[in-house]
A = this chain, B = another copy of it.
Amino acid sequence: MAARIVSPVASERMPLAIGIDLGGTQLRAALITPQGDILSRTAVATAATAGPAAVLDQICAVVEKVCAGVDKGRISGIGVSAPGPLDSKQGIALSIPTLAGFVDYPLGQALRARLSCPVVLENDGIAAALGEWQFGAGRGVENMVYVTVSTGIGGGVVVDNRILRGRRGMAAHVGHMSFIAEGALCVCGNRGCFEAYGSGPAFVARAQRQAFASTSTSLGQNGAVIDSPAVFAAAKAGDALAMALVAEEAAILGTGFTSLLHLFSPDVLVMGGGLAHEFDMLYPGIQSVIQKSAMPAFRDVRIKRAALNDNSGLIGAAGLVFAA
């Protein structure tokens, strides 16, 4: 089920929530119904280096924009999805590597003061997992692992019909489990994390390195940029190096996903994030690893693509408002 944009006119008494997705690159906002439908939506480039005060101003501006023409009394609250680790119980951004100044910053409290309405803060992976569980690819299951594969690797986990939060709401940092102990340096400072191997930038870095060393690939020819879409396009066109790179990425994801099956025992594992746009190309390689590596009792777990595309987090964050 993809998110629909429906007319606000159709439902004038329905309570509404605002979902905010505070990313290092984009700040996005949407006005959302209890059914997970998007009434209006906007996005701006995040003022990532300008500090919390400037970002707060931006959030207030996008909130104003998506609420234009809507009776404020219908707004039940604001749900904010932000990169972790953050203490979702206290509403504190503990450390957002991609946003300057967001260290032990009481984002929830600051927003409540500015916007005079209930604010809930959630780790972006957990918010997106909630969106997919309530309205997307994980609808109706008791156990779900959501993994977003993008600039980083994040996620959220539902076990026994409950979203996992853990101490300070910091559970499910699935990108920072060991993939190769003492291996490649990760942005978190540790070595060998799943994210350091499986993320979009890691995929692109391998592609650039191998394309430079290759004389037979079409990748990077005539100075063309080698990014993730370029590699997938070349693989579709039959470029041998690009196909091998896609197979390698799929194998990495399959290995990481196998760990997650063993750790959380989901009914379904949902993959979102930028690389999920090419889910169909990655899926056979992911499944091949799982069928070989997972313990037999875990091999029939379904692996699915996120259904809400880039809106999982927005919709999940808004859903938290209705659940509160």
A interface residues with partner B (beta carbon < 8 Å): 85, 87, 94-95, 142-143, 159-160, 162, 164-174, 176-183, 188-192, 194, 197, 252, 255-256, 258-259, 262-267, 292-298, 301
Contacts and interface: CB of A to CB of B under 8 A. Distances in A.
Given A171-B159, A190-B258, A177 B298 contact: no
A137 to B, nearest CB: 16
A301 B167 CA distance: 9
Contacts of A176: 259, 262, 295
Query: Which of A162, A170, A188 has the most chain B CB atoms inside 10 A of its CB?
Result: A170
Contacts of A194: 178
- Tallying the copies of this chain within the complex gives 2
A252 B160 CA distance: 30
A192 B294 CA distance: 12
B263 A167 contact: no
Nearest to A142: B167
B255 A168 contact: no
A264 B178 contact: no
Contacts of A263: 171-174, 177, 263
Contacts of A173: 262-263, 265, 295
B181 A252 contact: yes
29 contacts: A85-B298, A94-B296, A95-B297, A142-B167, A143-B167, A159-B165, A162-B162, A164-B264, A166-B265, A166-B266, A167-B267, A168-B297, A170-B265, A171-B264, A172-B265, A173-B263, A177-B178, A178-B180, A178-B255, A178-B258, A179-B181, A180-B180, A181-B197, A181-B252, A181-B255, A188-B295, A190-B292, A191-B293, A192-B255
